[in-house]
């Protein structure tokens, strides 16, 4: 089982996820991040994000638009958002913020302001989350934004 579903199941109702963008693999990753935010405008951020991770080698514009259609999004609205770069500034700001927090790669996670870097096992997250929930872990709080949260 992947780590994220385990975390969601074990800590349902106790934690909140906030997703921020840090595209590190060139322009296709930037457009994919923008596309996920366009999907978020229609309430399908997490579902769209799942499709992106399942199809990491297909991030061209046609594929990004086909994922929106697969999810039943209003494709005209989605396509306009993506084509006009409506989310470019938000993705750039997220990346700038990530660098200022010391993020150098992906995935990167913050649990109560403490960085957990890289793909880690459930037990690593469990220790960090349990410590945060009991007040045993603290770090510099990382500002969050309400968009793309679930």
Tens-place pLDDT, residues 34-45 = 999 999 999 999
Q: How confident is the model at residue 141 (pLDDT cuts 50, 70, 90)?
A: very low
The Cα 72–Cα 136 span in angstroms is 43
pTM, rounded to two decimals: 0.74
pLDDT the model gives residue 138? 54
User: Mapped to the 3 state alphabet, what secondary structure does 5-70 carry?
Assistant: HHHHHHCCCCCCCECCCCCCCHHHHHHHHHHHHHHHCCCCHHHHHHHHHHCCCCCCHHHHHHHHHH
Q: What is the per-residue pLDDT for 105?
A: 81
Angstrom CA distances, 119 to 2, 45, 80, 107, stand at 10, 21, 34, 6
Give the pLDDT confidence score for residue 143 in this predicted structure: 43
Q: The domain 3-133: what is its CATH number?
A: 3.40.30.10
Indicate if the pLDDT at residue 111 is higher than 60. yes
Question: What percentage of the chain carries pLDDT values higher than 90?
Answer: 45
Closest CA to 34 of 89, 76, 88: 88
């Amino acid at each position: 089982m992947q780590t994220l579903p385990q975390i969601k199941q074990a800590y349902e109702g106790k934690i909140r996820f906030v997703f921020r963008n840090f595209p590190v693999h060139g322009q296709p990753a930037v457009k994919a991040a923008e596309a996920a935010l366009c999907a978020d405008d229609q309430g399908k951020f997490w579902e769209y994000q799942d499709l992106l991770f399942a199809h990491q080698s297909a991030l061209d514009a046609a594929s990004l638009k086909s994922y929106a259609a697969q999810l039943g999004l209003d494709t005209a609205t989605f396509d306009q958002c993506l084509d006009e770069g409506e989310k470019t500034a938000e993705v750039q700001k997220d990346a700038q913020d990530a660098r200022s927090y010391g993020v150098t790669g992906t995935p990167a996670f913050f649990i109560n302001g403490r960085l957990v870097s890289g793909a880690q096992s459930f037990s690593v997250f469990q220790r960090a989350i349990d410590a945060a929930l009991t007040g045993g872990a603290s770090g510099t709080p990382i500002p969050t934004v309400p968009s793309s949260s679930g």
